Structure 1
Amino acid sequence: MTGNFNRPISGAALTRRRFMTATAAGTAALAFGGRSAFAADDTLKVGFISPRTGPLGGFGETDGYVLELARKALAGGLQAGGKTWKVEILDRDTQSDPSRAGQLAKDLINNQAVDLMLAVSTPETINPVADACEAAGVPCLSTVMPWEAWYFGRGAKPGAPSPFKWTYHFGFGVGEFLKTYISQWNLIETNKKVGVMYPNDADGNAIRANLAPALAKAGFTIVDPGAYETGTTDFSSQIALFRQEGVEIFNSFPIPPDFAAFWRQAAQQGLTQQIKICQVAKTGLFPSDIEALGDLGMNVSSAAYWHKAFPYKSSLTGVSGNELADGYEAASGKQWTQQLGASLSLLDAGFDVLKAASDVKSKAAVAKAMSTLKTTTIAGKVDFTSGPVANVSPGPIIGTQWVKAPAGSKFALDYVVTEHATDPNVPVGAKLIAYNG
């Protein structure tokens, strides 16, 4: 930014070209307000795709706050490969539409030339983004969906080498759900009859194929009326079967509108009275889902891929779990959700990849750094060197429950940890209460 602009210019030397050069330089200096400038080729572009609106909007509700924390942490640039890089995070909302997720990814790849893609929350978001990145040769990191639905749901075959070179995923899988559910369900005496409602989608099909047989092997009787279609409004036949079979545990992986419809009908038709454990995944993760059910949401069991009780700090921002939750509540006036730590863990891991890459502008080098990543995020350990399959690093899912908040609380609900089989570092904070307890 020095040079001709700062050197005295004589009248004779002030040609039209030098006048324009000086003016342009002065405008640039004013635009940067005196701060040090980065050249265009000193900028790293990171795409961040999540569902901020639509039926899956609960997963993205806190992303604005998390992205603000990340941008503040990166305001002075990112140190990688011996130099400082300016960082642009280009966040996009899928509106809960898988087709739109894929289109957004292609736009970020083709028109924004992102160096790294981050995708978070549910197969409807992650799989189309990962597929677009795999096809284009762009490194992509994702979290918050069962890894089996990500790996096998995108065409990988059991026992065969991974077909993926550019895409990586970390977080819970069926094995973690199995450990958590066995641990959680053994906390209360039941007849071990489990009524399951798994939708006809990537999550539901992966869970039906892998989790249900493992639960049966562990001594639970699975009552499965078959896959239902998302958007179903009448669940009378499923409810009748569950009542007839006397199920005392209910388990489902629905989107919020489907569970709300089912659970209200279950109450009207007498099923909820016999349920001792209502264990819901995908729905039941966020306070808004449970509050919408009124009294029917009290004592619903859930599972947390992150909780403010997790004893880890963000490698990107330095905040702890409690600091993250408290900061969000102060800024938004809303109750903290587990998505805060999950989305921040993705940013933690993503920027740790860039710091570890031998050349951040080489997509092959970034993908290689991802394949060997070993780090600790606010949600715990990420390690791609020891996963169940290549391209996957498993992570915890912790047994939890929604209970009435203690007197004096700002919010109606409290979200308590009831078991910790998949990460004993997370403290158990409460005893599981029977749904009708």
Structure 2
Amino acid sequence: MVDIAGAGEGTLCVGAVVPRTGRLAQLGDPLSFVVRWLGERLPVVGDGARRRRIRIACRDSRSDPAAARQAVRELARDEGARLVVTMAGTKVLPAVADTCEELGVPCVSTTFPWQAYVYGRGGDPGRPFHWTYHFAWGLDDIAEVFAEMWERVGPARAVGCLWNDDLQGRLLRDGEHGFAPVAAARGHTLVDPGGYGEPAENLGAHIDRFRDGGCDIVTSASTAGDLALFHRQARERGLRPRLLTCSRWLAYPHGSAAAELDGAGVATLVYWSPRHPYRSSLDGTSAAALADAYERATGKPWLQPLGLAHALLEVAAHALATADDPTDRRAVADAIGRLRLATMAGTLDWTNGPTPNIALVPLIGGQWRSGRDRAHELALVTNTRLPGVPLDGEVVLTG
């Protein structure tokens, strides 16, 4: 547990549930850094005798849904958290949000498509959540960005779908809310052999279907390990796609599996980079300056979730500052629901989302390429939705 700024009267607690141990530990790095970096610089809320400092109390989710639920209970009970922030983990994040909903604690989260957040939790846009809010992109947004990159190969492609058999894969292929209908509407034929279990052991049947279906493009939502396995087995079986798009292996490309994907030219979605024209609502720090601070402090390359992690604390601070009563959780939740704020992740607007609990983050396209000093560097290759972001070049085709 990390406690920034000290507990006691005259403070308002923001709880952070962060995966610091377990299989998701690397995914906790951006939020852990931002908590340390911003902790002492968060604004004082209120005025006169009602001035209160914001403190941050962290709990480790241990990459486990049950531990994440316990972390929320401890933050609410022991720390008096007025709201909770979290990110990362397709099962851990919903566990945090659901527990906050049950306990009546405002929650702000980010990092995976809003459809997974809403429908994966049994939500209904007609009956919004009362306490929990999320900012991200949609599966439809991913499809638009990917299709734009596929069309650099040519129109109306046969695209192989390497999707798992879990919630993520089911939502991607969903005929109403998923990725598939948007891609089909642009004229592409999706070849979907069905879901595979994670971690994958043999993807030969998928590869054969893609080859027989004439797929010169493959799209995926695989882990780095499964994507590396696919890449290796595809080459062994004579399948060499001209373009490989992946919506999951995008934020942490520097692990052990990355070496196997060197030269694969994996294209991905981009929601944040040092090139984005975003600044902190707290102190005006630019995206480039945030990335530089992270690299200097950690000795590691910047990561896309860094901008979202920063925005989580911006939203928390703004909600506490604008709530009618920052000590009242209901008032804080209401403040999030009416929030529109220019942040390190762009302008987040909960008054104009696809559902009342969602603020959208725009996407552009990127492609991982071999770098001089790093295993991979992310080149920005399409910017239709954010033309103010400068590009590094065109989509490079392989195969």
What TM-score comes out, normalization by structure 1 length?
A: 0.84
For the residue of structure 1 that corresponds to 2:382, the secondary structure is: coil
Partners of 2:283 and 2:257 lie apart in 1 by: 31
Match of 1:194 in 2: 159
Question: Deviations 1:98-122 (Å, cap 9, x if unpaired)?
Answer: 2322222222223322111001124
Shift in Å at residue 362 of structure 1?
0.4
1:142 aligns with 2:123: no
1:305 aligns with 2:268: no
Shift in Å at residue 417 of structure 1?
0.8
Contact 1:69 1:317 in 2 (8 A): no
Shift in Å at residue 375 of structure 1?
0.2
Contact 1:312 1:380 in 2 (8 A): yes
Question: Deviations 1:124-143 (Å, cap 9, x if unpaired)?
Answer: 23211010000000000111
Partners of 2:280 and 2:266 lie apart in 1 by: 29
Partners of 2:234 and 2:20 lie apart in 1 by: 30
Partners of 1:132 and 1:171 lie apart in 2 by: 20
For the residue of structure 2 that corresponds to 1:182, the secondary structure is: helix
Letter in 1 for 2:94: N
For the residue of structure 1 that corresponds to 2:195, the secondary structure is: coil
More deviation, 44-53/169-178: 44-53
Partners of 1:71 and 1:60 lie apart in 2 by: 16
Partners of 1:311 and 1:253 lie apart in 2 by: 28
Contact 1:400 1:418 in 2 (8 A): yes
Shift in Å at residue 323 of structure 1?
0.7
Match of 1:123 in 2: 90
Select 1:382's aligned residue among 343, 348, 356.
348
Letter in 1 for 2:345: A
More deviation, 110-119/358-367: 110-119
1:166 aligns with 2:131: yes
Match of 1:205 in 2: 170
Match of 1:292 in 2: 258
More deviation, 118-127/378-387: 118-127
1:315 aligns with 2:281: yes
Contact 1:50 1:125 in 2 (8 A): no
C-alpha distance 291-307 of structure 1, shift in aligned 2 (>3 A): farther
Match of 1:257 in 2: 225
In the TM superposition, 1:271-350 aligns within 5 A as 271=239, 273=240, 275-289=241-255, 292-294=258-260, 296=262, 298-350=264-316
Contact 1:142 1:169 in 2 (8 A): yes
- Which 5+ residue runs of structure 1 have no aligned equivalent? 1-36
More deviation, 255-264/368-377: 255-264
Partners of 2:395 and 2:281 lie apart in 1 by: 32
C-alpha distance 39-114 of structure 1, shift in aligned 2 (>3 A): closer
Match of 1:13 in 2: none
Partners of 2:96 and 2:287 lie apart in 1 by: 28
Contact 1:308 1:322 in 2 (8 A): yes
Letter in 1 for 2:40: K
1:356 aligns with 2:356: no
Match of 1:9 in 2: none
Select 1:229's aligned residue among 197, 200, 215.
197
Partners of 1:200 and 1:90 lie apart in 2 by: 36
More deviation, 79-88/172-181: 79-88
1:102 aligns with 2:65: no
Greater Cα radius of gyration, structure 1 or 2 = 1
Contact 1:98 1:128 in 2 (8 A): yes
Contact 1:191 1:248 in 2 (8 A): no
Contact 1:81 1:355 in 2 (8 A): no
Partners of 2:256 and 2:156 lie apart in 1 by: 26
Shift in Å at residue 38 of structure 1?
8.7
Partners of 1:301 and 1:69 lie apart in 2 by: 31
Question: Deviations 1:396-426 (Å, cap 9, x if unpaired)?
Answer: 1221011122xxx532432111112333332
C-alpha distance 295-180 of structure 1, shift in aligned 2 (>3 A): closer
- Which 5+ residue runs of structure 2 have no aligned equivalent? none
Shift in Å at residue 153 of structure 1?
1.1
Partners of 1:416 and 1:89 lie apart in 2 by: 35
Match of 2:46 in 1: 80
C-alpha distance 234-412 of structure 1, shift in aligned 2 (>3 A): closer
Contact 2:247 2:268 in 1 (8 A): yes
Contact 2:323 2:331 in 1 (8 A): yes
The two structures, once aligned, show a CA RMSD in angstroms of 2.2
Match of 1:394 in 2: 360
More deviation, 254-263/130-139: 254-263
For the residue of structure 2 that corresponds to 1:337, the secondary structure is: coil
C-alpha distance 187-81 of structure 1, shift in aligned 2 (>3 A): farther
Match of 1:410 in 2: 373
C-alpha distance 290-266 of structure 1, shift in aligned 2 (>3 A): farther
1:156 aligns with 2:119: no
Count of aligned residue pairs for this structure pair: 391
For the residue of structure 2 that corresponds to 1:426, the secondary structure is: coil
What TM-score comes out, normalization by structure 2 length?
A: 0.91
